[in-house]
Structure 1
Amino acid sequence: MTDRTHPSEQAPAAPGRPSRRAVVAALGATAGFVALPAWPDKAWAADGAATTASDGPVLDTHPDTEPSGTHVRDVGGTNVVFQYGAVLPAFDGWRTHEPTREYLSLDKWWRFQFDPHGRGLGEGWQSPRHDDSAWDVLDVPAAWDLLNTPGFATETATFGTGTAFADGYAWYRTTVDVPASWRARHVRLAFLAAGYSAEVWLDGIHLGKHEGANSPFALPAAGALRPGRRQTIAVRVFRRASYADYTDPTPLPVTDDHEIPYKPVDYWPYAGLTRSAWIEAVPQVTIAKLLTAGMRGKLEARALVENHGATDFHGYLTLDPGRGSGGRPAVVEARIAAGSVGVVPVSVAVPRAPRWAPGSPHTLTARATLSAAKPGGPRVDTLSAVYGMRDLSVADAQLRLNGRPLFLKGLNWHEETAAHGRAMTPAEYDRELGHITALGANFIRNCVYNRHPYVYDWADEHGVLVMDDIDTMWLNTAQEKLQTEHYGLARALALTMAWNQHNHPSVILWGLQNESEIDTEGAPVYRAWLADLKAAVKAVDLTARPVTWASNTSNDPAFDIADVIGFNEYFGYFYGKDADLGPTLDAVHAKYPDKPILITENGTWSEAGNHGSNSTQGTEEWQADSFTAHWTQVAERSEFVAGFTYWVLKDYKQRAGYNQDHNGISVMGLLTFAEERPKLVYDTFRKADSPRGI
């Protein structure tokens, strides 16, 4: 449901900033490698003081394009994603340590201080000489929302108080002893998430800024690293306020046209360093990323090799397709010029590799080894990647996996717990995601942001299919135009989603947006925006996964662009009646007879323990019966409807201007928020049989 708010004035563009708009094939093919993109010693980021309107909430400043410099270059026929002047690397260091690399975990206590009005930068809080001994301490990962918010998870607590409503800037500081052996290494600082945005300094040298609360980033430390010394890392994190006054009966929304989302949305915008962070030291010649595509008895791989050294590299790359694949290691020559990036393609027959599917989620591990001088010579670097063999296609209004039609019995879910917010522990992920399999579901939609890497690994291992999403929720025509033609953050989020989750066999759909505005005058802008996002993910996905999105209408003017038609429907709740769904599906199918349809959201609400008539809104019986009515109409049309995704697995927190009488807890889940107690609809959903397919 799209609504309108008052957009903030745009911050002035930073002078002299070259455009980093995504370039797909426009640079042309090269002779196998390209020079590493130029990147300044101090990356472009927010300049000057933050802006404040009449003593109101602080807004961050913005450069003229999104600050990470995310773009695509054709390297020897492979499209490669770059950020901060380097290949966007693999982020497996949170769980896998390669033997050729060294790691320093940053998951520990940091010094922490709120800076709501943005004074810290001018006072030198980024400097190693700043005295932070009086600061608080905060664990990383953690959400600062739960630092001091009594009753955060209870429906009876007072809404609008505590650190859950602390907005603007906050600073993190820690020290690390940098090994002297790192003088001959390429070193980067990796963060799995920082909400909403973060700027990073090493010994007072600004490494860069990242924008986007749920996507990982890695900042090269060259020029700031002092091997053999103790150094200070400072991170300034920013979160925009949702409202000027949370306790006002009619609160004024705080908006920023450049941010995504640009206005308050109905999930909680957890703040801080909410996922793991570490420092990774790799060889000067290093495998930054290993792209894999396993299908039809072959493993097609692309090893992205960076040469950060001053001399050309001539060596060999060995790709082992892994135990159980039936394939033998393949050796290919690798030549990478100094200061360049090259792609080393390898194709290996894997005649005994089992297929990946929900009922048999077989995964394999490929390992790339870079060696000097000759095959089997001195090892330079290694990188492994988990992959699965599967064929995914769309034909005759069906979504097919390994040639069989899929029917997706799915759930939307939010990544949070009452105890830790978005900084969930592995045990919490296992418990929450365990409900997916217990409910007989085979599909999750990661509404409306990327998840921790643990989630994709879990889905691979448990045979659960995934629709991945980005933060493009409730944009209006002005933001769609701004993102497409100027700022490019939406495109950056789409590129990094497809790049980071590329190897996961469980990920079968790329989601481009959720319920963004469509009006008659803005339809061409909307179409151009979605076409741009689709081109971005298609450019880097070797497996050509289908794209879709969660439209707020069944009459979306861009459905011809989608590979799978997806829309949210709330018949019988927000509009119409339950029985309207079937005729609506028939009408969409008649207009697009070759495209599968996916219900990306449907649900209602109930207060746990409220029992009564199935015609009375808010009872558990009404919620369960509403699900059954919608599920039945979808299942009857399974020849062209690919599935149904219920909203939502568990009650969830949000800072939007409703549900404040429940302390911001939306009660639309199958489970309650804090206790995770099942409602009646939980068993009703579990007992719903899929009509056919996998």
Structure 2
Amino acid sequence: MTTQPPTHPARGLSRRAVVAAAGVAGVVALPVWPGAARAAARDTGTAGAPVLDTHPPTEPSGTHVRDVGGTGVVFQYGAVLPSFDGWRTREPTRDYASLDGRWRFRFDPEGTGDRAGWQSPDHDDRDWDHVTVPGTWDLLDTPDFASLDGAAFGKGTAFTDGYAWYRTTVAVPASWRGRHVRVNFLAVGYSAEVWLNGVHLGKHEGANSPFSLPVSEGLRPGTRHTVAVRVFRRASYTDYTAARPQPVTDDHELPYKPVDYWPYAGITRSAWLESVPAVTVAKLLVAGSPAGGGTFQARAVLENHGDTDFVGRLTVDPGRDSGGRPTTEEVRVPARSVGVVPVTLPVPGAPRWSPGSPRLLTARATLTDGSHHRVDTLATTYGVREVSVGDAELRLNGAPLFLKGVNWHEETAVRGRAMTPRDYDAELGPLLDLGANFVRNCVYNRHPYAYDWADRHGVLVMDDIDTMWLNTAQQKLQTERYGLARALALTMAWTQHNHPSVILWCLQNESEIDGGGAPVYRAWLADLKAAVRAVDLTARPVTWASHTSNDPAFDLADVVGFNEYFGYFYGRDTDLGPTLDAVHARYPDKPILITENGTWSIAGTHGPGTTQGTEEWQAAGLRSHWSQAAQRAAFVAGYTYWVLKDYKQRAGYNQAYNGVSVMGVRTFDGQRTKLAYRAFQEAVNPRGEPANP
């Protein structure tokens, strides 16, 4: 971690105020937003070649963690990475201006829009198309996107790559003068550059992680402002319809090459402007533990964007029904600085959170000034629960778990990745019907609603980042120089921290392992593990989805996780049991999690259970692997099926028809279930449902 010395106390503070400032555990100055993190000049390459984006020396958001009085605080674009709850909540001390709705839109195949001034508020965009945000340009005009008929594969906007521009205007109230204003995006795929009134705010990489850009230059409260976003998506192949399509790669991007899920493009999740006080509660990290009869921990991250020191009070309330009482600390945060107020309280009446009883609480931080006037508030939900690992068991509230889980991809045939809450209810609802207690967010972060849904319904979550199929050279690049993998890991752990449903951090999926002791691979994983541990108050277990049961870095994992496809890609179904026994013999104290296993079938295709492609064969494989894992529940922590629903990809990999991989237990349109759905439903959890003590 990088650290900075506390800012010198302001002259004229009373002795009482200086002593009371002990409520702030530490202070650091706001980092200077580095110009080096801005995008480099563009080179669109030779005519006819796929357009590649350009990259600064390090990932463009400047995401990093600093130790502030013993708390790891994540910074991005020169400010604290804030809470993104504004997509659904409205704090009374803050103002919000939604950017969802109709935007102007135009493709930029030559990558020349910035030189033509498309970011300027004076640019005439009246002849541009209209699109809806959130949305994805893949579904603007793509015939038969959801069909298994591949006659139209390669046609339409689903295969339009390179640059595209979005423009809209928004009224900024005069009352926003003197406040800190930021523009928040829950996701833009793959990368985005943002301008406000022609002023470049910054660039972001990573199609599935939220980001927040401070707005200072160019802001004129009391007028309308033009927001322009230039979005980039790298082509997956030079020719999508070629007999042997040639992949397009970029070592800086994550993923760096075509993978077997669809890279939806556009402003795929909500965006909004947010106005907060100059002194604000940027983030409230909380954790509830059953220890000691119930304990509440909080870290209130206070950010002072003003030019004068702030002296006041912070009250933290663990919430109604927690049994805990609010506590108030006197605080001082110097100008242009960040401070952290740590709070630990008994919550003896707090209910425990578990899959069988997903009881949620709401904590709130309230900042007041020296005259006891309310300055800012920030609330967050949390649950009292404890995740631990010991004696080859993964435990929740002290009881051993067996995770009956599925992988899932975030998409619908109608909206792609730009899903609505109703879509999430329909997509995730089958988990409850299946009797699943676990879901893996393969291989990227989800919309905040998905985590809220899991919190409310008691479904345990393993959260992933976009580090899929990395080669050794790229692992080395990410660790030693570019740092995008680390930035995504920090964003994941910081943003999803308070969700009780999230019990595991997953660091990578099926990436290459170098030889000779795997020094590059191990260093990369150690770096990602250190990142999530730097900000997680609860030290959730860390794992990853290895492509092998002989991974040389399993000693670094808290839970041994690997994907296995015995009986499909290699070996026999019955090889799983001996493999699990061998892994347990090597790591007798570590629980083992099967992070993927599955086969495929086309819905409606029936025949013997030994014939590939039939629903019977898919169901038989599931039963066989489940049985071998469940029989070893003493050291196997769970089984995660691949996959909940057929999913879309650009590759022809792994039984894909028109880009639809048919490995799901439900069809891509969600209209039919397969026999494997019933087989999973009937699988009996050897541990039963985790009890709430």
Common topology (TM > 0.5): yes
Whole-angstrom CA distance in 2 between matches of 1:43 and 1:143 = 30
Deviation of 1:173 (Å):
0.3
Amino acid in structure 2 at the alignment position of 1:68: S
Deviation of 1:347 (Å):
1.7
Residue pairs, 1:173-572, within 5 angstroms: 173-295=167-289, 296=291, 297-373=294-370, 377-521=372-516, 523-572=518-567
Amino acid in structure 2 at the alignment position of 1:307: N
What per-residue deviation string (whole Å, max 9, x for no partner) do you get for residues 324-368 of structure 1? 101111111111000100001112221100010000000100010
Amino acid in structure 2 at the alignment position of 1:243: Y
Deviation of 1:523 (Å):
1.2
Give the TM-score normalised by the residue count of structure 2. 0.95
Q: Is the 8 A contact 1:50 1:117 kept in 2?
A: no
Q: 1:659 to 1:149 in 2, by over 3 A?
A: farther
Amino acid in structure 2 at the alignment position of 1:92: D
What per-residue deviation string (whole Å, max 9, x for no partner) do you get for residues 489-519 of structure 1? 0000001000000000000000000000013
SS at structure 1 position matched to 2:300:
strand
Amino acid in structure 1 at the alignment position of 2:447: H
Q: Is the 8 A contact 1:194 1:274 kept in 2?
A: yes
Aligned pair count reads 668
- 1:134 aligned onto 2:127: yes
Q: Is the 8 A contact 2:4 2:28 kept in 1?
A: no
1:61 is matched with: 54
What per-residue deviation string (whole Å, max 9, x for no partner) do you get for residues 182-210 of structure 1? 11110000000000000000011000000
Amino acid in structure 2 at the alignment position of 1:358: P
Amino acid in structure 1 at the alignment position of 2:487: A
Instruction: Select the residue among 94, 100, 106 that pairs with 1:107.
Output: 100
Q: Is the 8 A contact 1:29 1:74 kept in 2?
A: no
SS at structure 1 position matched to 2:520:
helix
Report which stretch shifted further, 656-665 or 305-314: 656-665
1:18 is matched with: none
Give the TM-score normalised by the residue count of structure 1. 0.95
Q: Is the 8 A contact 1:650 1:676 kept in 2?
A: no
- 1:650 aligned onto 2:636: no
Q: Is the 8 A contact 2:136 2:415 kept in 1?
A: yes
SS at structure 1 position matched to 2:680:
helix
Whole-angstrom CA distance in 1 between matches of 2:655 and 2:579 = 34
Q: Is the 8 A contact 1:39 1:85 kept in 2?
A: yes
SS at structure 2 position matched to 1:247:
coil
Whole-angstrom CA distance in 1 between matches of 2:385 and 2:230 = 42
Q: Is the 8 A contact 2:37 2:57 kept in 1?
A: no
1:14 is matched with: none
Whole-angstrom CA distance in 2 between matches of 1:435 and 1:413 = 11
Q: Is the 8 A contact 2:209 2:491 kept in 1?
A: yes
What per-residue deviation string (whole Å, max 9, x for no partner) do you get for residues 19-64 of structure 1? xxxxx26657887211100015x67332222332452110000000
SS at structure 2 position matched to 1:184:
coil
Whole-angstrom CA distance in 2 between matches of 1:57 and 1:153 = 26
Amino acid in structure 1 at the alignment position of 2:308: T
Q: Is the 8 A contact 1:412 1:601 kept in 2?
A: yes
Deviation of 1:230 (Å):
1.1
- 1:143 aligned onto 2:136: yes
Q: Is the 8 A contact 1:611 1:619 kept in 2?
A: yes
2:623 is matched with: 628
What per-residue deviation string (whole Å, max 9, x for no partner) do you get for residues 505-538 of structure 1? 0000000000000131581100000000000000
Deviation of 1:298 (Å):
1.4
Q: Is the 8 A contact 2:394 2:400 kept in 1?
A: yes
Q: 1:581 to 1:629 in 2, by over 3 A?
A: same
SS at structure 2 position matched to 1:121:
coil
Deviation of 1:265 (Å):
0.1
| Runs (5+) with no aligned partner, structure 2 | 8-24
SS at structure 1 position matched to 2:83:
coil
Amino acid in structure 2 at the alignment position of 1:80: V
| Cα root mean square deviation, aligned | 1.3
Whole-angstrom CA distance in 2 between matches of 1:191 and 1:117 = 26
What per-residue deviation string (whole Å, max 9, x for no partner) do you get for residues 529-556 of structure 1? 0000000000100000000000000000
Q: Is the 8 A contact 2:517 2:552 kept in 1?
A: no
Q: Is the 8 A contact 2:605 2:614 kept in 1?
A: yes
Amino acid in structure 2 at the alignment position of 1:202: L
Q: 1:29 to 1:357 in 2, by over 3 A?
A: farther
Report which stretch shifted further, 393-402 or 156-165: 156-165
Whole-angstrom CA distance in 1 between matches of 2:295 and 2:93 = 28
SS at structure 2 position matched to 1:682:
helix
Q: Is the 8 A contact 1:191 1:276 kept in 2?
A: yes
SS at structure 2 position matched to 1:51:
coil
Whole-angstrom CA distance in 1 between matches of 2:398 and 2:517 = 39
Whole-angstrom CA distance in 1 between matches of 2:2 and 2:199 = 34
Residue pairs, 1:111-126, within 5 angstroms: 111-126=104-119
Identity of aligned residues (%): 73
Q: 1:26 to 1:369 in 2, by over 3 A?
A: closer
Instruction: Select the residue among 589, 592, 614 that pairs with 2:587.
Output: 592
What per-residue deviation string (whole Å, max 9, x for no partner) do you get for residues 384-441 of structure 1? 0101001111000000000100000000000000010000111110011100011000
Whole-angstrom CA distance in 1 between matches of 2:183 and 2:591 = 42
Q: 1:26 to 1:309 in 2, by over 3 A?
A: closer
Report which stretch shifted further, 250-259 or 514-523: 514-523
Q: Is the 8 A contact 2:30 2:338 kept in 1?
A: yes
Whole-angstrom CA distance in 2 between matches of 1:208 and 1:670 = 42
Amino acid in structure 2 at the alignment position of 1:610: T
Whole-angstrom CA distance in 2 between matches of 1:548 and 1:476 = 19
Instruction: Select the residue among 585, 605, 613 that pairs with 2:608.
Output: 613
Whole-angstrom CA distance in 2 between matches of 1:445 and 1:659 = 20
- 1:93 aligned onto 2:83: no
Amino acid in structure 1 at the alignment position of 2:281: I
Whole-angstrom CA distance in 1 between matches of 2:125 and 2:211 = 26
Report which stretch shifted further, 149-158 or 356-365: 149-158
